[in-house]
A and B are shown apart, each in its own frame.
Chain A
């Protein structure tokens, strides 16, 4: 109780700080490539960042996109990492649909996959928290725990210098998110919906990362590389609009990849 009061007072103090802080004076223009240090890679968004933006464009029947397929059991760690990313994205979709049984099932699958790549210990408390929050229909907490799950998996991989596997988790999530985004926009096309696909730098970042994964000599990696080459011109349109035909094409490509990720070769 005392701790809670203390926390509240500190939060209030910080909020007060924001109110009395000086408006930050910023240069109106910068030359990005002339900054004194290098520019970092593109930050990969969480699937629910895209789903949140999509929701604001109109009601989406998220139940339509909840996936219950278990997926194959893979022995190859890169394949497990890709699948794990897609399953976490499926978790965010199930939360959008407020589908408690699906969320609980996904919590179990995430744990099994995390064990498969040797990071189960760091995921167990999150999987439990996901299931508990789904039981209580506390969707905000489920979202937070899914985010924590992805973060913990990637931190655990980075600690043992498995950064490439960590990147595959992000890529799996992005592919599943893009598959669902394009499905929704394809059904009810709008220019604002299609604009959410405008992510050329992120795609380039994935391409660069995949090129550095030559040690993962797996068909699925080559399939994704080829697919990204197909997707790039469809979404890299500068200031032009992304037409319905391109959305449909990206959907076909990502749906095909999605199936390839969950099924054995």
Chain B
């Protein structure tokens, strides 16, 4: 069965998130697992939109084996506040996202969180600089766990 159809049959809870996804994500060549991971990231972001965060349309996808990490370099501006949201489609996977400054020091707020298909990290940058958003698949029943990362700012 098509994996996208399979996940839709498994749960309807993501349907609203998939509906609000930009059409570009359904473009030819986008992996259905990425669409699903992205839907979880969008779902995690939704409550923050009500708090005035502008959620960027772009997103960063990938897949990692258990125990692997990946860093995404990000220019952040002092004066703004940012949330990063990570989603994965894999049940029982443990994923995380954390924010480090250019010296590799943890720079996020203490209210960053992780649960089930989601993880989120919060930062109010002390300086305008490059930061590293480190995505990690800590545990997973899958050989490769798809993830999608999005962010918002206010």
Contacts and interface: CB of A to CB of B under 8 A. Distances in A.
Q: How large is the interface on A (under 10, 10 to 19, 20 to 34, 35 or more residues)?
A: 35 or more
Given A53-B79, A148-B22, A196-B128, A39 B56 contact: no
A37 B132 CA distance: 13
A159 interface: yes
Q: How large is the interface on B (under 10, 10 to 19, 20 to 34, 35 or more residues)?
A: 35 or more
Nearest to B65: A36
A22 B74 contact: no
A30 B134 contact: yes
B14 to A, nearest CB: 8
Q: Is the interface of A mostly helix, strand, loop or mixed?
A: helix
Contact of B71 (A10, A21, A35): A35
Given A53-B80, A148-B22, A20 B16 contact: no
Nearest to B14: A10
Interface stretch (A63-71, A198-206, A214-222): A198-206
Interface in B93-149: 96-98, 100, 102, 104-106, 108, 110-116, 118-121, 127-130, 132, 134
Contacts of A31: 104
Interface in A4-36: 6-7, 10-12, 14-15, 17-18, 20-24, 26-32, 35-36
Given A10-B46, A37-B64, A143-B54, 7 more contacts: A17-B118, A20-B115, A24-B96, A29-B106, A42-B74, A45-B77, A122-B24
15 contacts: A6-B16, A10-B46, A11-B43, A11-B46, A12-B47, A24-B113, A29-B105, A32-B100, A37-B70, A52-B77, A52-B79, A53-B77, A53-B80, A148-B22, A152-B22
